[in-house]
Amino acid sequence: MSGANAKEAGADPYRKTCLVPYVDPERAPPNIREKLKVLPFRRNILLVLAHSQGLFPHFSGLLGACFDGSQRSIPVHEWQLIVLRVGTVLKAIYEIDVNKPVAEVFEFPQEKFDAIGCSIEDVKDGRGPWNDRDR
């Protein structure tokens, strides 16, 4: 596991349940280190997948395309609205936890964060910060 971080689980404030050591970007091979910069925020899953030096560079390119407005068809605000709303309705805490920082990077409005758990009736009746497209 080239570039693996040997820290104990308790020493890494981001590490909660993953049993596979995270790749330390500072110790990773240059091509992996560069691909770990594809997103403007930390993603623990990438630090695990980076162990696969053959697959990871291609996978990170695909992931980077999701954030490239010239390559995706849905605006990032709407994408995050969908993910956060579905995550909230389904009580998928992990999805909310990993996507809220993404939404923050892309300046998702705080008023929408605050109202994301409102009832479907409120959404349909026009209550809350939702515009027609959001609904």
79/68 Cα distance (integer angstroms): 13
Question: By CB neighbour count within 10 A (0-12 exposed, 13-18 middle, 19+ buried), where does 23 fall?
Answer: buried
Instruction: Tell me, yes or no, whether 22 and 50 share the same domain.
Output: yes
pLDDT of residue 29: 93
Here the tokens at position 24 are 């330390």
Residues 53 and 83 in one domain: no
Express each pLDDT in 19-56 by its tens digit: 788 898 889 999 999 888 877 777 788 888 999 989 99
The total domain count for the chain is 2
Which of residues 122 and 14 earns the better pLDDT score?
Answer: 122
Whether the per-residue pLDDT at 59 is higher than 50: the answer is yes
Instruction: Output the average pLDDT for the chain.
Output: 83
**Domain that residue 22 falls in:** 9-66
**Does residue 83 contact residue 95 with C-beta atoms inside 8 Å?**
yes
Determine, yes or no, domain membership for 133: no
